[in-house]
Amino acid sequence: MSKPPATEVHTTGLDDEVAALFPDVDSGVARRLIASAVRAFAERGYHATTTRHISEGAGLSPAALYVHFTTKEAVLHEVSRVGHLGVLDAIRTAAAAEPTPPQRMRALVRAFTSWHVEYHTFCRVAQYEIAALTEEHYAEIADIRRDTERFVRREIQAGVDSGDFTVPTVATAARAILSMGIDVARWYHPGRSTDPDRLVAEYADLAAAMLGVQG
């Protein structure tokens, strides 16, 4: 087993993350810029990253960023927007495919956890750097987050209403389940001795137990 790196930020596989998250970006250059920006933001933080770091990290000339993005903040906005919308879509789709509240909830937790495993570097930036967004862009991301929390709360409430769940504190349970998944972006990296499939399955079980799934 390989020794894990000394630091916390791991950007291997980032090009694959970006390719999966930006299927509509048909410019390879734009994708390389996004991957380079996420890498730089994750490694040194948004404020210490320059547009030159981003361009040169993509193997391009210093001003290349401006062909595709107006500012450094525009890249962070795009990364945050795509990340937050993507995970909301993933949990909605996962839940919709299941017939009962407990099955829907397990599918939701599996999808949410998988997302934060698969896109861990990307999520790290989307979750921890967004204080740097403009007020308008921050408000847009905050709205998507509220939609996500609301969706999880409704799914839990549906299970309480059907008698499948016994949890008395729906809003706090939603927060706890979201935190379990989001924090994966902080601690997970491929070098760790964590099997992603097992983690995803066990988190679904733990969330079900937390909600007091009956039977």
Query: Quick one: which of 27, 28, 47, 162 contacts its own copies (CB under 8 A)?
Result: 47
Amino acid at 198: R
Report if residue 1 touches its own copies, rule: CB under 8 A: no
**Contact criterion met (CB below 8 Å) for 31 and 57:** no
> In this chain, which stretch among 67-75, 77-85, 96-104, 178-186 interacts with its own copies, using CB under 8 A?
178-186
Angle at 174 between CA 179 and CA 120, to 5 degrees: 30
**Rounded Cα distance, 25 and 98, in Å:** 31
CA distance 167 to 213: 8
How many residues does the structure list for the chain?
Answer: 215
* Dist. CA 2–CA 106, nearest whole Å: 32
- Asked if 88 is part of the footprint of its own copies (rule: CB under 8 A), the reply reads no
Q: Which of 187, 191, 197, 214 binds its own copies (CB under 8 A)?
A: 187
27 interacts with its own copies by CB under 8 A: no
139 is an interface residue for its own copies by CB under 8 A: yes
Q: Which residues bind its own copies (CB under 8 A)?
A: 6-9, 43-48, 127-131, 133, 135, 138-139, 167-169, 172-173, 175-176, 178-180, 182-184, 186-187, 198-199, 202-203, 205-207, 209-212
